[in-house]
Structure 1
Amino acid sequence: MPQLNPTPWFLIMFTSWLIFSFILQPKILLFISTNPPSNKTPSTMKTSPWNWPWT
């Protein structure tokens, strides 16, 4: 079965991995986040107990 022969596909996979890791990934990581996290403290919700009608 020729699909199981890794010879032609290994080089393609390896070069695409190299292109991604050394060229594309640093460019993608340079983008500034459009919604940076703020230093605002999270507010806690005030909860009330639930009164079950059958108790």
Structure 2
Amino acid sequence: MPQLNPNPWFFIMIISWLTLSLIIQPKLLKFVSMNPPASKTPTNPDTTPWTWPWT
């Protein structure tokens, strides 16, 4: 059964993880969010009661 032979697939997996860890991940970690969630102040919604026409 050829799918049980880890020879080519293990190398591809290792190269993929090294690419992700060494090249892509540092670029993603340098990304600075323009709108960080901690900078927003919580606002209370306007909770005026609704006047129903049938009451």
Q: Normalising to structure 2: TM-score of the pair?
A: 0.66
- How far apart are the structure 2 equivalents of 1:8 and 1:39? 50
- How far apart are the structure 1 equivalents of 2:17 and 2:35? 29
Gaps of 5+ in 1: 47-55
In the alignment, which residue of structure 2 is the partner of 1:31? 31
Structure 1 ranges of 4+ moved more than 3 A: none
Gaps of 5+ in 2: 48-55
In the alignment, which residue of structure 1 is the partner of 2:52? none
Identity of aligned residues (%): 59
Q: How much does 1:34 deviate?
A: 2.7
Give 1:30's aligned amino acid.
Answer: K
**Root-mean-square deviation (Å):** 1.9
Q: Normalising to structure 1: TM-score of the pair?
A: 0.66
Q: Give the length in aligned residue pairs.
A: 47
